[in-house]
């Protein structure tokens, strides 16, 4: 059952076993056409999981997705596979988003990702942008983005995502020596 590589890959990712993540991804990729033909309902999960393969740099992901079979979204609110693995920082969550400091790449990645993950993907990238600005010692710019992100919080967001937004804001306030607000 080739589609069983999907949960095995995700489980290995969740427990931080990079050797198995690589092993299972390497087994999964050549089987994607078979999986798409026999179990098309799981292809959207494969698409979202490919973002976890940190061996593929972000700028190369769009070309990888073009190679994948087209999908029909069964799960309209599919979210990113996980934030908890590397919380609390949105720019270091599902993977290290350091490449998003390139604004052109940020736009390109956000555009193709919104076709893969239907909920909160733009907010995830916005949070990553804020975190990267914080690391570039631009806390005022980072705070403006983070507070804008906070204004979008609603009941539809996963608690993990909301938590990461609040931690980002608290961290920026600490950098600005505003402990009470933090």
* pLDDT for residue 80: 47
pLDDT band at 85 (very low <50, low <70, confident <90, very high): very low
Using the predicted structure, report yes or no on whether residue 75 has a pLDDT greater than 60: no
Lowest mean pLDDT among 3-7, 43-47, 129-133: 43-47
* pLDDT for residue 181: 93
Task: Identify the domain containing residue 146 by its residue range.
Answer: 77-182
* pLDDT for residue 84: 47
Number of domains in the chain: 2
Tens digit of pLDDT for each residue in 3-14?
899 999 988 988
Using the predicted structure, report yes or no on whether residue 159 has a pLDDT greater than 50: yes
Using the predicted structure, report yes or no on whether residue 98 has a pLDDT greater than 80: no
**Range 149-178 burial, b when 16+ CB lie within 10 A, else e:** beeeeeeebbebbbebbebbbbbbbebeee
Do 17 and 82 lie in one domain? The reply is: no
Do 63 and 82 lie in one domain? The reply is: no
Lowest mean pLDDT among 21-25, 63-67, 130-134: 63-67
Domain ends where: 42, 75, 108?
Answer: 75
Do 89 and 70 lie in one domain? The reply is: no
Average pLDDT over residues 126-152: 91
Domain ends where: 53, 75, 97?
Answer: 75
Do 15 and 91 lie in one domain? The reply is: no
Tens digit of pLDDT for each residue in 14-39?
888 989 999 999 999 999 889 888 88
Distances in Å between the Cα of 95 and the Cα atoms of 45, 80, 124 are 17, 11, 11
Using the predicted structure, report yes or no on whether residue 141 has a pLDDT greater than 90: yes
What is the SS3 assignment for the chain? CHHHHHHHHHHHHHCCCHHHHHHHHHHHHHHHHHHHHHCHHHHHHHHHHHHHCCCCCHHHHHHHHHCCCCCCCCCCCCCCCCCHHHCCCHHHCCCCCHHHHCHHHHHHHHHHHCCCCCCCHHHHHHHHHHHHHHHCCCHHHHHHHHHHHHCCCCCCCCHHHHHHHHHHHHHHHHHCCCCCCC
Do 114 and 41 lie in one domain? The reply is: no
Higher pLDDT, 53 or 59: 53
Average pLDDT over residues 88-98: 69
Domain ends where: 41, 75, 109?
Answer: 75
Do 63 and 95 lie in one domain? The reply is: no
Tell me the pLDDT of the chain averaged across its residues.
79
Do 37 and 120 lie in one domain? The reply is: no
Do 70 and 87 lie in one domain? The reply is: no
Do 149 and 110 lie in one domain? The reply is: yes
Do 101 and 179 lie in one domain? The reply is: yes
Do 48 and 100 lie in one domain? The reply is: no
Do 145 and 171 lie in one domain? The reply is: yes
* pLDDT for residue 70: 67
- The structure tokens listed for 77 are 């609110």
């Amino acid at each position: 059952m080739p589609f069983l590589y999907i949960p095995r890959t995700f489980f290995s990712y969740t427990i931080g076993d990079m050797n198995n993540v690589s092993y299972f991804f390497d087994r999964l990729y050549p089987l994607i056409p078979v999986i798409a033909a026999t179990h098309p309902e799981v292809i959207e999960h494969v698409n979202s999981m490919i973002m976890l393969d940190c061996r593929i740099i972000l700028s190369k992901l769009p070309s990888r997705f073009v190679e994948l079979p087209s999908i029909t979204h069964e799960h309209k609110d599919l979210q990113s596979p996980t934030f908890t693995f590397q919380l609390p920082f949105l720019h270091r969550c599902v993977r290290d988003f350091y490449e998003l400091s390139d604004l052109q790449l940020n736009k390109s990645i956000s555009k193709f990702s919104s076709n893969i993950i239907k909920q909160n993907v733009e907010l995830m990238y916005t949070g990553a942008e804020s975190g990267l600005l914080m690391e570039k010692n631009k806390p005022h710019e980072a705070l403006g983005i983070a507070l804008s992100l906070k204004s979008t919080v609603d009941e539809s967001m996963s608690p993990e995502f909301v938590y990461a937004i609040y931690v980002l804001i608290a961290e920026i306030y600490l950098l600005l020596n505003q402990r009470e607000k933090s």
